[in-house]
Chain A
Amino acid sequence: MTDASKSNRGHRHSSGRIPTDDQMDTLLKQFFRQEIPAALPAATPVSVSLRSESVARPAPARRQFALVVVATAIAACCLIVAGLRQQSDVGHGTAERQPVTTDPNAEPQILDRATDLMPVSPNAGQNSAVKTGVGPGGATMEEIEGVNLNPKN
């Protein structure tokens, strides 16, 4: 089409005035109203289309990444708590630990010292400490602390 034929048309001009955003909005609404084939069914409800979209589209990578980070953090917390529990169990000897009483009127329990306490030399910490064995194997604190820990070749 030539410029001459263009200039003959009634709906054309060359003033260069750019339509505003609102004018373009109206123009596009009118344009697409006529452009959509009448044979197509009417627009579907939003809920139906959104459901189909959620099936068709995978979750965005950012969301997946956040989920992985949260799951890793939870797993790490579980591991730390489990580790701390294990340490406290080893330190206090869970097998002989007495249950904690929550009743405020309950009588305080007196431990059986002969079985609950670690066997030590009766005069431990003094120069005159008796270095005879006190445990079933005859071991004293001095002997235990004097174990040589040199590595084997």
Chain B
Amino acid sequence: MQNPISERVEDPARKEFIEIFYREHSRELWALFYSQCSDPERAYDAVQESFLKFYDYHGETIRDPRAWLLRVGQNWLRDVARKKSSSCRLMPSMDELTAQPISPAKALVRFEQQTEVRDALKELNEDDRKVLVMKYALDWSTARIATAMDSNSAAIDMRLSRARRRLAEILVERGFEND
């Protein structure tokens, strides 16, 4: 897949390394950024920004690129949050609505449901949101989540169950009904 930053690098070896790294880690980075901001577009922008900075970086050798990208993306998210504290959410464009095989009305309802779940996720604490994102966005096993969060499988299972329960309660409080 072509990404917007692949054209900026002249060294072929470096370009190949970063493209492989992008394929392997961009999804995971997106999920981690998403668990912080609960905004899919902004999390995606954070991934792009961190990789752009990675391409343009010519300083000392980066020992752990994944951690470096994560830090750059988090800093970018923090800056954006400071600047755009009252950002408005975009409604789906006409293109998006007409491109889907369902009716525009149903697409709009689905969009609103997405927004409801997203807003409910924001009310969870960060660790609960993180385990849900790792489980459902990255499709990670409990053991792998446990390794990533420096915990054990039983504790992660418990946290997942509690997070789902809490999310369900928030959605009910908001009057949400899943079709």
Contacts and interface: CB of A to CB of B under 8 A. Distances in A.
Interface of A: 6-7, 9-14, 16-19, 21, 23-25, 27-29, 31-32, 34-37, 39-44, 46, 48-50, 52-53, 55-57, 60
Contacts of B150: 57, 60
Contact of B147 (A19, A34, A44, A57): A57
Contacts of A28: 117, 132, 135-136, 164, 167
Given A56-B67, A60-B150, 6 more contacts: A11-B176, A19-B178, A28-B164, A37-B41, A40-B44, A49-B25
Interface centre among A7, A17, A37 (most CB of B within 10 A): A37
Interface in B160-179: 161, 164-165, 167-169, 171-172, 175-179
Given A43-B27, A56-B66, A35 B110 contact: no
Contacts of A56: 64, 66-67
Interface stretch (B6-14, B73-81, B83-91, B137-145): B137-145
A3 B172 CA distance: 14
A133 B127 CA distance: 88
Contacts of A21: 161, 164-165
26 contacts: A11-B112, A11-B176, A13-B175, A18-B169, A19-B172, A21-B161, A21-B165, A24-B164, A24-B165, A24-B167, A27-B178, A28-B132, A28-B136, A28-B167, A36-B27, A36-B137, A37-B30, A39-B1, A40-B44, A41-B1, A43-B138, A49-B144, A53-B147, A55-B66, A56-B64, A57-B148
Contacts of A11: 109, 112-113, 176-177, 179
B26 interface: yes
Closest 6 CB pairs of A and B: A32-B136, A24-B164, A12-B175, A32-B137, A28-B136, A37-B44
A24 B138 CA distance: 17
Contact of A40 (B27, B167, B172): B27
B136 A46 contact: no
A43 B148 CA distance: 16
Contact of B171 (A19, A29, A50): A19
Contacts of B138: 43
